[in-house]
Amino acid sequence: MKLSFRFSLLIIMIFGTTICKSPELNNGCDPKSNSFLTLLLIKNLTNDRSPGCLPYFERSEPKFVSYGVFSATSPTEIITAAIHNGKIYIGGMFDQIAATTGGGAFVWNDTSLPVASTYCSQLDVFDEDTSNYGTINHAVSDPEGNLYLLGKFTHIQGVPRRNLAKINSNCQLELEFDAELNPSSTTFYDLLYLDGRIFFSGSFQTSNGAITNYPSVTNREHVASVNAKTGLIDPWAPNVSGTDVKSMTTDGTFIYIGGEFTAVNSNGAGNLGKLHKDNGSTFYSMVDTNGSVNAMELKDGILYIGGVFSSLNGGAVTRSKLAAIDLKTNTVTSAFSLLAISGNAVFDLAIHNNYLFVAGEISTPRVGIFKTDLQGTLQTSDYSVDGVFRNVYKLSVIDDKLFAFGFFETVRTLDRKYFFQLDILSDEITSFDPKLFSSNYEFNGVALKMKENVVFLGGGFAAIDTRSRNHLVELDLTTGLPSDWNPNPSDLVTNILVAENRLYIHGSFTTVANATRQATAAFDLETKALLTWNPIVTSNSIESMIYYNDSIYIAGSFTDINATPVNRIAKLDTNFGVPDTFFAPNPNNTVRSLQIWNDQLYAAGQFTTIPNPSVHLANINRFNGSFIKTHSDTLTSNFSAYSLFVSDNRLIMSGQYQTTSPNPGYGLSYFQLPDLSSVPNTGSFPTTSEFVRSMDQNEKYIFLGGLFSSFASLPRNGIFSLDRKTLALNNWDPKFASGATVRKIIFSGNAVYVFGNIVNPNKRYRAGLVKLDPDSAFLY
């Protein structure tokens, strides 16, 4: 009934808007048009919140944003993790956490937080050449709301795109657009959209090789143009001789270029040039400068330029890194003649109304950035940019806000690392702070409006929403966003257990939540209160913790608890951590993993007796720790077993060892429960140097992660999947980069969460945490 009523209402309203609007208005992106109103009605009546021309993105449909862990300026490692009640708990070697965007991110314009929306996912800007995050130097938009990105990258959202890419209005890579630029050492600087074409500049030239081989081998000299729909290079081919073109601007007919060059179309030119948008081969005389032109702004027929020059017109006119040129007469105006700028260079300019913002590596008249009127009268505003470096490199203006990127730490004593936003009308630094992880250098940094409530940020920042977190973090399972809880352990967290709404942790810390704890602690997850559970053990000596029937079983290398001898396996109460004195398995070496099956305890590790002979694996009584049985396999190269996992009445063991009988292989063994008879394997590692650290499963697959580059003679870096019934290797492959180490795998909510030392899975930038589809291995 409700659906029928809604449909009828929809027909009536569409008919009403059709006869009430002028028929010639038929632009779906024009709010005055007939089709815009029709689209608006349809989308709202059908509850469609997909993007298009409507000026919003819906916040109520969350999408996972991948946060990662960092220390100083580098990604680091997650050692342990747990999932409970809609939260992810991670511990390891880090002091910061941030959203791993690469050099491009969509953020909400009010909070500056990364957009976690179904319709606006991460760009995952990645550079395969450096096996690291990619950077964005510049970006522009077209009338349909598409973004064009220019920078140093090889992949966007995991898809190959080298240095130039198009992002459509719903934040997804536009697959039709592909310039197929060739690999080179070129730096790309500036970008323009004009009449269905994309113009870009850089240091590329014939001596560096063809800029593209598609549709044919093509050379370009510092400037080029491609079709804005397909990305294919067009015939526009000015001949600019010199080092580079750093900046461009246009009046709609002519394109003005600045940089370090000596000739345009074989005519002498000093760092400034004028090109026709359609005919690039004609030479137009321009004022010259005696140094590089890094930035341009055009307003009312006046071209404002900034750079490293000290004179123009062959030395006839002196200016200090900043000048204005009247394009009608091609003469230098009197503006800025009395303004002296000290420092290395002006790197960017931005105009708002009748004021000019000047940014760069400058020390006077202000540090990093200053404001003048268009004649060069210095304004009183002082932004007090400070830090180890005090440089502002790139500026963007959106509405009445100035977005400033650079290398600094504070602005007007406010913490603003590498970015600040200025309310131009009030001249106040706003609260908008995306908390960039890395600094922006020289030509990195741009801000554009994506929708009314979404801003695109590009630069050299690697990650955003950087938060100080030491060794322990709580994340939202659905959105990936970190919570405000900050227990702040003083050192590493190496093991996490969640049981009965409590979080138990172990590591090498001596304080946590402002209280003294010797390597162990526990929290109530409802209140986040620190609990009294406090067994005192040697730092980093617990390698496994499991909960069963109101007891916590721990295993590792410890030999005492609370100064009382307890040898490598213990049974603790959940309230105080007091060991059960009747439980005494007494293994002769480290125990690395514990599992419970059918009310019995299984242990794996480096031991050879427990106390009966049992190489790496034993079944023991969970009440008193007495030996029950072990396997009958013959193991050589007996280094250690690291992990145990139970699947369908089979016990899977992995580690650094070699099995010679009855099923020869390296590092992975299967045993039938309860008798621990050997199950034939369906694959093996090539040597004892490769092994699995963690396993989990769903109804179809077993997921295994560790340190390895192949399994069953097929390439698999750090992670693979077995069919749960047959134990055969399948095609599931997230394509982690060589050297990836997986510490923990958890299947939860129809996704596989992977933790460890993981930085570039499947050509996307990550820092320790990856979320995967269990069937396709798609990276969220």
Each residue's pLDDT tens digit, 739-753 = 999 999 999 999 999
Taking only the tens place, the pLDDT of each residue in 119-172 is 688 899 999 999 999 999 999 999 999 999 999 999 999 999 999 999 998 889
**What is residue 51's predicted lDDT score, i.e. its pLDDT?**
39
CA gap 412, 429 in Å, rounded: 8
CA gap 545, 559 in Å, rounded: 16
Element (DSSP H or E) covering residue 480: none
Which 8-state DSSP code applies to residue 763? G
pLDDT bucket at 68, cuts 50 / 70 / 90: very high
The region of weakest confidence among 3-12, 246-255, 463-472, 602-611 is 3-12
Which one, of 357, 325, 322, lies nearest residue 343 by Cα?
Answer: 322
Query: Which tokens in the block code for residue 90?
Result: 């991670």
CB 595 within 8 Å of CB 602: yes
Tokens 């995306």 identify what position?
434
**What is residue 24's predicted lDDT score, i.e. its pLDDT?**
36
Per-residue burial over 701-724, b = 16 or more CB atoms within 10 Å of its CB, e = otherwise: bbbbbbbbbbbbeeebbbbbbbeb
| Strands 627-629 vs 617-620: parallel, antiparallel or unpaired | antiparallel
Q: What is the mean pLDDT of residues 576-592?
A: 96
CA gap 691, 665 in Å, rounded: 12
**What is residue 307's predicted lDDT score, i.e. its pLDDT?**
98
Q: Is 687 exposed, middle or buried (0-12, 13-18, 19+ CB in 10 A)?
A: middle
**What is residue 6's predicted lDDT score, i.e. its pLDDT?**
42
Q: What is the mean pLDDT of residues 532-536?
A: 95
**What is residue 62's predicted lDDT score, i.e. its pLDDT?**
65
Which 8-state DSSP code applies to residue 182? P
Helix crossing, 34-45 with 2-20: angle to 10°?
Answer: 170
Taking only the tens place, the pLDDT of each residue in 644-656 is 999 999 999 999 9
Res. 294: pLDDT tops 90: yes
Evaluate whether the domain defined by 472-699 bears CATH number 1.10.645.10: no
Which 8-state DSSP code applies to residue 115? P
CA gap 303, 314 in Å, rounded: 18
**Which regions of the chain carry the CATH code 2.130.10.10?**
472-699
Q: Give me the DSSP letters along 349-379.
A: EEEETTEEEEEEEEEESSSSEEEEETT-PBP
Per-residue burial over 215-253, b = 16 or more CB atoms within 10 Å of its CB, e = otherwise: eeebbbbbbbbbebeebebeebbbbbbbebbbbbbbeee
* Measured CA distances, 432 to 219, 349, 435, 465, 546 (Å): 43, 21, 9, 11, 44
**What is residue 61's predicted lDDT score, i.e. its pLDDT?**
59
Taking only the tens place, the pLDDT of each residue in 406-438 is 999 999 999 999 999 999 999 999 999 999 999
Tokens 């062959």 identify what position?
314
CA gap 461, 758 in Å, rounded: 19
326, HSE (Cβ side, Cα atoms, 13 Å): 8
Distance of CA 164 to the CA centre of its chain: 19
Which one, of 512, 498, 572, 588, lies nearest residue 537 by Cα?
Answer: 572
Taking only the tens place, the pLDDT of each residue in 684-725 is 999 999 999 999 999 999 999 999 999 999 999 999 999 999
Q: Is 144 exposed, middle or buried (0-12, 13-18, 19+ CB in 10 A)?
A: exposed
CA gap 180, 498 in Å, rounded: 49
User: pTM score, two decimals?
Assistant: 0.89
Taking only the tens place, the pLDDT of each residue in 559-577 is 999 999 999 999 999 999 9
| Helix/strand/coil for 228 | coil
CA gap 330, 322 in Å, rounded: 16
Query: Computed from CA positions of residues 98, 103, 108, 109, in that sequence, does the dihedral angle turn out positive or negative?
Result: positive
Taking only the tens place, the pLDDT of each residue in 161-203 is 999 999 998 889 999 999 999 999 999 999 999 999 999 999 9
Residues 6+ apart with CB under 8 A from 572: 535, 551, 552, 553, 554, 561, 578, 579, 580
pLDDT bucket at 58, cuts 50 / 70 / 90: low
CA gap 650, 727 in Å, rounded: 11
CA gap 179, 226 in Å, rounded: 7
